[in-house]
Amino acid sequence: MTITQLEQISPQPTPPNERGYEYDLVIVGGGIIGLTLASALKNSGLSVLLIEAKVASAAVAKGQAYAVHQLSSLIYEGIGVWDKMLPQIAKYCRVRLSDADYPNVVEFTTDDINTPELGYVAEHQALLQPLQDFIQDCPNVTYLCPAEVVNTQYQQNIVTIDIKVADQLKTVRSKLVVAADGSRSPIRQAAGIKTSGWKYWQSCIVAFVKPEKPHNDTAYERFWSSGPFAILPLPGNRCRIVWTAPHEEAKALCALNDEQFLAELSRRYGDQMGKLELLGDRFVFQVQLMQSDRYVLPRLALIGDAAHNCHPVGGQGLNLGIRDAAALAQVIQAAHKAGKDIGHIQILKGYERWRKLENLTILGFTDLLDRMFSNNFFPVVVVRRLGLWLLQRVPILKVFMLKLMIGLKGRTPELAKR
């Protein structure tokens, strides 16, 4: 969908001289997380402007894929878009967790929590396209793409946003701006919100492969001293590889020809699925941990990667952003129904209290996993293998760990309870 003039897609907004603003909120960033928030606000009574700078994101071009956790699927079911996503994605019913060549493997199954599946794996477009289609049926949502926010001015009761559309400059006013514009968020930076965190010594290689044998709806997370190695099942008996290694090693691996790369991949992958076929290109990206010092300011809220980044181990990143969107939608809808100002800092702090600590817990969990398993320091090896031994033999610990991994710990948004 490409729109170049605001008037072409916008229902006639209430003139600003009557109430001072055209939209209740403006979402900057029309990726999966921004679209999730806009979709969650259907029938909310709030007027929404969604702004996306790129016609096609780099993630689509690179064929990105994600683990979609149980809680995320329930949120999308509550929104009403899950049935459009489900035919395009794969489920996994088993997760096998192992430490390099250590023979004891921890296996999580659906029997552990009495659900039909543990989670899903989706390519970027399988989530993005249904959300884009969904908001076309949201009469309260205006989708502007491609467009760029060039300036924001926060005032006591309103935000003024200057938007570049083609060669024209448009100005709109809103009660609230939501930044869903990624880890380098220009909106966050312009607001002066600082971040804490670090870049890891590791990079991730991502690739699609087709194994000779069926993947049997099984996801694998195998830890090596150089970093985690994940295998995620996809439709068509394909798999997504997420291979973490030190920067120079990752670059060297990615520079190999296909035959050499597959040989190295098979060494890590094992022979459980037979011969591997490489599908398409492979890509490298650096891994980082980041937490914004604040998620909110008066008339501004951050969600998704604009607020936080974590290590990809466990596939947590996108799912945290989906929960952010559901939580913010719930907080501002409740405020709106009560006749309160959705951009007021006290309202927005309710969202921050809900999500910041929960996200920090997962950031810490993924960081601990990576550091515990990405080394050969003997005392640490003993501790982590004792941990795997306990997971195998203590059901309550195993169930707790599984629920934490798939999003069933912490506060559940109302959308997921419908």
pLDDT the model gives residue 19? 59
Q: What is the mean pLDDT of residues 353-369?
A: 95
Domains along the chain with CATH numbers: 6-101+120-197+289-374+412-417 (3.50.50.60)
Look up residue 407 and give its DSSP letter: T
Distance CA 107, CA 78 (A): 30
Q: Is the pLDDT of residue 288 over 60?
A: yes
Instruction: Match 């999500």 to its residue by tokens.
Output: 355
- CB atoms inside a 10 Å sphere around CB 83: 10
The strand pair at 168-179 and 300-302 is best described as parallel
pLDDT at 7 over 50: no
pTM, entire model: 0.93
Q: Is 190 helix (H, G, I), strand (E, B) or coil?
A: helix
Structure tokens at 88: 């395009």
| Placement of tokens 């094992």 in the chain | 270
- The residue with greater pLDDT, 15 or 104, is 104
- Supply the Cα-derived Rg of the chain in whole angstroms: 22
Percent of the chain with pLDDT over 90: 82
Q: Which pLDDT does position 6 carry in this prediction?
A: 37
Q: Taking 70 as the threshold, does the pLDDT of residue 246 lie above it?
A: yes
> What percent of the chain has pLDDT above 70?
93
pLDDT in tens, 138-179: 999 999 989 999 999 999 999 999 999 988 999 999 999 999
Quote the CA–CA distance of 392 and 106 in Å, as a whole number.
6
Average pLDDT of span 200-218 = 94
- Is residue 211 very low, low, confident or very high in pLDDT (cuts 50, 70, 90)? very high
DSSP 8-state assignment for residue 135: H
List Cβ<8 Å contacts ≥24 apart for 382-388. 384/99, 385/99, 385/102, 385/104, 388/97, 388/98, 388/99, 388/102, 388/104, 388/106
Beta strands in 180-249 (DSSP E): 195-211, 218-224, 227-234, 238-246
Task: Give the type of residue at 7.
Answer: E
Condensed to tens digits (0 to 9), the pLDDT of residues 17-31 reads: 355 679 999 999 999
> Furthest-apart CA pair in the chain: how many Å?
71
- Position 274 scores a pLDDT of 87
pLDDT score of 273? 83
Point out which residues pair with 179 in neighbouring strands. Answer: 28, 302
